[in-house]
Amino acid sequence: MASSVLSAASHSFSPSSSLCSRQTHKGKPKIGGNTLRFNKGLNSFPHARSSGRISMAVAVNVSRFEGIPMAPPDPILGVSEAFKADTSDVKLNLGVGAYRTEELQPYVLNVVKKAENLMLERGDNKEYLPIEGLAAFNKATAELLLGAGNPAIKQQRVATVQGLSGTGSLRLGAALIERYFAGAKVLISAPTWGNHKNIFNDARVPWSEYRYYDPKTVGLDFEGMIEDIKSAPEGSFVVLHGCAHNPTGIDPTPEQWEKIADVIQEKNHIPFFDVAYQGFASGSLDEDAASVRLFVARGMEVLVAQSYSKNLGLYAERIGAINVISSSPESAARVKSQLKRLARPMYSNPPVHGARIVADVVGNPVLFNEWKAEMEMMAGRIKNVRQQLYNSITSKDNSGKDWSFILKQIGMFSFTGLNKDQSDNMTNKWHVYMTKDGRISLAGLSLAKCEYLADAIIDSYHNVS
């Protein structure tokens, strides 16, 4: 049998032996005393009658899951586990993209606390949401993304379905591609957020990379990006980071976005935006959504996955949305129906707590203004840390290396240009925990720690080949 292996390791002994202690139970040997006793005597063991000795077959259970290999640790979440195990007083966790205060503590936004108090005062229940999510949330999130007066919203050409944060929303979009765009390829930037590839792999959607990062300049390889998008099969899906590209922090300029839109439109591609940092990158909701709005204003059909993990600090609430901007209200209605159909067997319906927070904050003018002020504060702290890190490095490094790319990047991440060995040195020698591609999260850095981090970066860059 697949679930067990019968071992013929014949443990031979006489019935009176004390090698194994058993008691009788319905004629079966059972562990109990110091001797073997059988309520039916030796007739229960045919071998004993002929040889005077008992030969027992021992069953050893083997799991049916034995063939499943151990999965490798997650490259980002594994950093946090290693950080926790480190006992050093100077350790820094710059791996996970989660906002921290100047004291490097998690931060719950004040508007979030106020929205939660509103729920308690109203006595909101915990009944199931519809499959597409909270209606007030879906309305607020589409208007936040596109602008309340956007023609696509007025013409009912936007299909919005609440998803399980950005990851779950991307996964719904990937499932839609797999089911209704058979054979279509997805283009992903090189590098990109590590989970993008996992999402499309598990959705069985083929993908390839387009050039994005130029290690020579620690900047954007714009010509390579355009060339790769041009050469992709017509009708491909192009995954674009709406703002604050993860992991590089390198965004196209407004003029470059226009050229990217030109090429995608010429090739009849479909842009698929990942918007994880709206308002959190620059501090402006409108500025950070400009790339998406540019494509929609051109009349292009667009997919957009949104997340409220960063800009509202709702990391654990798993609150986001998938938006499909279509060319007609009829096709948008059909798309929404199929997104709901895909969501039903995945998770049935989304959680309500985070959705109500977003709906209350965006829908309440007072809370909305408070939120914008808090976002500006968070974005401002990261900008200050970015500037201070640059100042510390340039004041200490006399090699003539140009570190200005640090200031040109945007958002919570900085791509340092350090390779794997140099990143390992950051961790092993300096207790700075980061991903092995050289990305650091400035959200986990304080002004007080900038000089220490500058020393670690300079040492790792110059002394580790």
Q: What is the pLDDT of residue 37?
A: 44
Give Rg (Cα) of the chain. Answer: 30
Percentage with pLDDT > 90 across the chain: 82
| Model confidence at 25: pLDDT above 60 | no
Q: What is the pLDDT of residue 59?
A: 67
Average pLDDT over residues 305-327: 97
Between the ranges 40-49, 78-87, 427-436, where is the mean pLDDT highest? 427-436
CA–CA distance, 244 with 413 (Å, rounded to integer): 8
Known active-site residue 40: no
Q: Which of 27-36, 74-83, 249-258, 305-314 has the lowest mean pLDDT?
A: 27-36
- For 317, the token pair is 């609430």
Choose the catalytic residue: 185, 310, 336, 449: 310
Neighbours of 455 (CB within 10 A): 15
Count of residues in the chain: 465
Q: What is the pLDDT of residue 74?
A: 80
Choose the catalytic residue: 221, 228, 251, 274: 274
Average pLDDT over residues 52-73: 79
The full 3-state SS of 428-452, as one line of letters, equals: HCCCEECCCCCEEEHHHCCHHHHHH
CA–CA distance, 449 with 445 (Å, rounded to integer): 6
CATH 3.90.1150.10 fits 77-107+377-463, yes or no: yes
Confidence of residue 441 (pLDDT cuts 50, 70, 90): very high
Known active-site residue 436: no
* CA neighbours closer than 13 Å in the CB half-sphere of residue 318: 12
Average pLDDT over residues 393-401: 95
Q: Which DSSP string corresponds to 301-369?
A: -EEEEEE-TTTS--GGGTEEEEEEE-SSHHHHHHHHHHHHHHHHHHHSS--SHHHHHHHHHHHSHHHHH
Q: Which DSSP string corresponds to 222-282?
A: HHHHHHHHHHSPTT-EEEEESSS-TTT-----HHHHHHHHHHHHHTT-EEEEEES-TTTSS
The full 3-state SS of 125-194, as one line of letters, equals: CCCCCCCCCCHHHHHHHHHHHHCCCCHHHHCCCEEEEEEEHHHHHHHHHHHHHHHHCCCCCEEEEECCCH
Confidence of residue 52 (pLDDT cuts 50, 70, 90): low
Domain ranges of the chain: 4-61, 77-107+377-463, 130-363
Q: What is the pLDDT of residue 75?
A: 76
Quick one: CATH architecture of 130-363?
3-Layer(aba) Sandwich (3.40)
Q: What is the pLDDT of residue 4?
A: 41
Known active-site residue 310: yes
Q: What is the pLDDT of residue 53?
A: 59
- For 278, the token pair is 């709206």
